[in-house]
């Protein structure tokens, strides 16, 4: 006689449910597709990865792995708005998904929407307030919106959790540099260099060099820019920094050497052509300076190149021409105090003291304050040279 089975006492009842078998099968398929998709993402095979994640959505319409995977794929392609749509869709069905929050914040950061990025990251930190990666990102975002206090607090919190964290040290350097606190910036970037002198990022070297440029300790800046060039002989920032340091040290012949190295790489750089023109002018090589200024002006109007040409006229004793050029520049840039000083000096060279005074006083009519204009005016009235 067949024994009757009490189904209520059978622990393996789920095994007899065909819907459970289907769910397990789909779950396994989703898991395999997800693993394959993320592996393809790591290999930068983004189209193939998207295909795998899309297959998951055919099985489960709002699967969180697929939506985050598609968001990550679009973010890697810099399609930030498409990525935002996927992350937001994920969060609408799976609130608090850390991967979606992280990706969404990174998209807003990439779009320079730092306030939105901060809001999202702060949601993330509710679940994980010890995540150093997120804390440094939030600190970076606060730095971008120029909230010095909150940015510094978060960077320092990271350093409390992980002494000498490189992202926090570099971030603190940028933060202080942005607020013109160059000595503090120097402290953090130099500390970064001291921790790993043999494998330091070239950007740290150029950043330290730039601090010395701003502090006018040009000889020290030269050392760091030269170290940077050892790693990358064509690095624009290192070449620019060296040229500018030598300009600051009044070694114009060395300055020209590095301006020209930049121009070998970028011959149509209007700013550098003008800087090189200035260097040649300051060495007295007016002919070459004129060539560089004219090259810059042929690319596009540049007030500093135009000023350089006016100063060459003054240097060669063609004072009427320099006055004419400077008058024209003042009409285009009436609040540039330097133009008025050079104009006044040109009048003085022609022994036209009253016109020099009138030129300087015409700047003051704008209601702008300039110590340089005041000092020049005082010198003219007291029969002193202003050149």
Which of 334, 335, 345 lies closest to 369, judged by CA?
335
Cβ atoms 164, 191 nearer than 8 A = yes
Same domain, 111 and 147: no
Residue 17 lies in a domain: no
How far does Cα 262 stand from its chain's mean position? Answer: 20
Which of 82, 77, 73, 83 lies closest to 53, judged by CA?
73
Which of 373, 331, 285, 345 lies closest to 306, judged by CA?
331
pLDDT of res. 127 = 81
Residue 13 lies in a domain: no
* Distances from the Cα of 134 to the Cα of 86, 88, 102, 192, 284, angstroms: 20, 19, 8, 20, 55
Unique residue bearing structure tokens 């300009």: 247
Cβ atoms 100, 87 nearer than 8 A = yes
More confident residue, 87 or 20: 87
**pTM attached to this predicted model:** 0.81
Q: What is the pLDDT of residues 47-73, one digit of tens each?
A: 999 999 999 999 999 999 999 999 999
Share of the chain above pLDDT 90, in %: 85
Dist CA 300 CA 296 (whole Å): 7
The answer to whether residue 380 scores a pLDDT higher than 80 is yes
Same domain, 110 and 58: yes
Please state, rounded to an integer, the average pLDDT across all residues of the chain. 92
Same domain, 42 and 109: yes
Same domain, 58 and 115: yes
Which of 100, 129, 158 is a domain's end point?
129
Q: 379: how many CB neighbours lie within 10 A of its CB?
A: 17
Dist CA 119 CA 122 (whole Å): 5
Cβ atoms 323, 313 nearer than 8 A = no
Which of 174, 200, 226 is a domain's end point?
200
Unique residue bearing structure tokens 């603190």: 172
CB within 8 A of 4, min separation 6: which ones?
none
Dist CA 5 CA 210 (whole Å): 84
**Mean pLDDT, rounded, for 187-216:** 92
Handedness of CA 68, 73, 78, 83 (dihedral sign): negative
Most confident option among 127-136, 183-192, 196-205 = 183-192
Handedness of CA 297, 302, 305, 306 (dihedral sign): positive
Q: What is the pLDDT of residues 363-374, one digit of tens each?
A: 988 888 899 999
First to last CA, the chain: 122
**Mean pLDDT, rounded, for 230-247:** 97
Same domain, 83 and 47: yes
Q: Which structural domain range is residue 43 located in?
A: 26-129
How far does Cα 70 stand from its chain's mean position? Answer: 28
DSSP character string of 248-266: HTT-HHHHHHHHHHHHHH-
Which of 94, 140, 96 lies closest to 120, judged by CA?
96
Same domain, 186 and 106: no
Same domain, 123 and 156: no
Dist CA 199 CA 194 (whole Å): 10
Residue 247 lies in a domain: no
Dist CA 124 CA 134 (whole Å): 8
Which of 200, 223, 252 is a domain's end point?
200
Residue 151: CATH number of its domain: 1.25.40.10
pLDDT of res. 9 = 43
Unique residue bearing structure tokens 């320092």: 156
The pair phi, psi for residue 45, each rounded to 5°, is -95, 75
**Mean pLDDT, rounded, for 211-222:** 97
The answer to whether residue 279 scores a pLDDT higher than 50 is yes
Which of 153, 212, 144 lies closest to 179, judged by CA?
144
Residue 373 lies in a domain: no
CB within 8 A of 208, min separation 6: which ones?
186, 189, 190, 193, 224
Dist CA 148 CA 155 (whole Å): 11
Cβ atoms 34, 72 nearer than 8 A = no
Q: What is the pLDDT of residues 169-183, one digit of tens each?
A: 999 999 999 999 999
Q: Which two tokens stand for residue 258?
A: 């590095």
pLDDT of res. 21 = 56
The answer to whether residue 16 scores a pLDDT higher than 50 is no
């Amino acid at each position: 006689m067949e024994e009757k089975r009490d189904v209520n006492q059978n622990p393996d009842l789920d095994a007899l449910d065909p819907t459970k078998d289907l769910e397990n099968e789909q779950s396994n398929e989703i898991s395999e597709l997800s693993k394959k998709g993320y592996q393809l993402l790591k290999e930068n095979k983004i189209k193939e990865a998207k295909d795998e994640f899309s297959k998951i959505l055919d099985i489960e319409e709002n699967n969180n792995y697929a939506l985050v995977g598609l968001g990550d794929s679009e973010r890697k392609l810099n399609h930030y708005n498409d990525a935002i749509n996927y992350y937001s869709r994920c969060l609408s069905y799976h609130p608090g998904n850390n991967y979606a929050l992280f990706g969404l914040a990174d998209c807003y950061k990439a779009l320079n929407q730092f306030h939105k990025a901060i809001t999202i990251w702060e949601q993330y930190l509710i679940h994980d307030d010890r995540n150093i990666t997120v804390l440094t990102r939030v600190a970076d975002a606060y730095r971008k919106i120029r909230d010095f206090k909150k940015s510094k607090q978060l960077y320092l919190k990271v350093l409390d959790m992980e002494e000498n964290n490189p992202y926090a040290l570099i971030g603190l350097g940028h933060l202080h540099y942005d607020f013109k606190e160059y000595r503090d910036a120097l402290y953090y970037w130099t500390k970064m260099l001291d921790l790993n002198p043999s494998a330091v990022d070239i950007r740290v070297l150029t950043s330290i060099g730039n601090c010395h440029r701003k502090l006018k300790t040009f000889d020290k800046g030269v050392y760091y820019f030269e170290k940077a060039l050892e790693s990358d002989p064509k690095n624009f920032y290192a070449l620019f920094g060296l040229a500018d340091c030598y300009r600051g040290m009044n070694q114009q012949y060395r300055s020209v050497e590095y301006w020209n190295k930049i121009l070998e790489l970028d011959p149509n750089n209007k700013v550098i052509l003008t800087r090189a023109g200035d260097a040649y002018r300051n060495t007295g090589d007016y002919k070459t300076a004129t060539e560089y200024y004219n090259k810059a002006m042929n690319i596009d109007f540049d007030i500093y190149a135009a000023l350089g040409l006016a100063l060459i006229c003054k240097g060669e004793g063609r004072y009427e021409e320099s006055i004419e050029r400077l008058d024209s520049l003042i009409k285009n840039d009436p609040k540039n105090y330097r133009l008025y000083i050079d104009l006044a000096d040109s009048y003085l060279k022609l022994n036209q003291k009253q016109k020099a005074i009138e030129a300087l006083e015409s700047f003051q009519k704008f209601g702008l304050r300039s110590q340089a204009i005041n000092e020049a005016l005082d010198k003219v009235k007291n029969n002193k040279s202003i050149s």
